[in-house]
Amino acid sequence: MTTDEIMSLALGMSGYRRVPEDSAIFVPGNGIRKVLFGLDVSTAELQLAKTLGVDLVIAHHPPATTTEIWKVFLRHVEFMTAAGVPEDAALAAVAEKVEGLKLRGQAANYDHVPSVARLLGIPFMNVHAPLDELGRRRMREQVDAVLTRGRATVGDVVEALRALPEMRAAHTAVQLAMGEGATPVRKVVVAHGAYTNGGYPVARTCFAHGIDLVVYIHIDFGELQRLRAEGRGNLIVTGHLAGDSLGFTPFLRELRERGLEVTTFSGVIEPTA
Ligand SMILES: [Fe+2]
Ligand SMILES: [Fe+2]
What is the per-residue pLDDT for 127?
98
Q: What is the pLDDT of residues 227-267, one digit of tens each?
A: 999 999 999 999 999 999 999 999 999 999 999 999 999 99
Q: What is the pLDDT of residues 18-38, one digit of tens each?
A: 999 999 999 999 999 999 999
- Mean pLDDT, the chain, rounded, equals 97
Q: Looking at the domain 3-128+247-264, which fold is it?
A: 3.40.1390
pTM of the model: 0.97
Instruction: Give the separation between CA 267 and CA 244, rounded to whole angstroms.
Output: 9
CATH of domain 132-243: 3.40.1390
d(CA 82, ligand 1 centre) in Å: 21
For the chain, what percent of residues have pLDDT higher than 90?
Answer: 99
Domain boundaries along the sequence of the chain: 3-128+247-264, 132-243
- Beta bridge partners, 178, equal 235
What is the per-residue pLDDT for 273?
59
The answer to whether domain 3-128+247-264 and domain 132-243 are alike in fold is: yes
Q: What is the pLDDT of residues 152-179, one digit of tens each?
A: 999 999 999 999 999 999 999 999 999 9
Instruction: Give the separation between CA 79 and CA 90, rounded to whole angstroms.
Output: 9
Q: CB of 255 within 8 A of CB of 262?
A: yes
d(CA 150, ligand 2 centre) in Å: 32
CA distances from 157 to 15, 191, 201, 215 (A): 26, 14, 22, 10
d(CA 169, ligand 1 centre) in Å: 17
Q: From the CA of 240, which ligand is nearest?
A: 2
Q: CB of 165 within 8 A of CB of 271?
A: yes
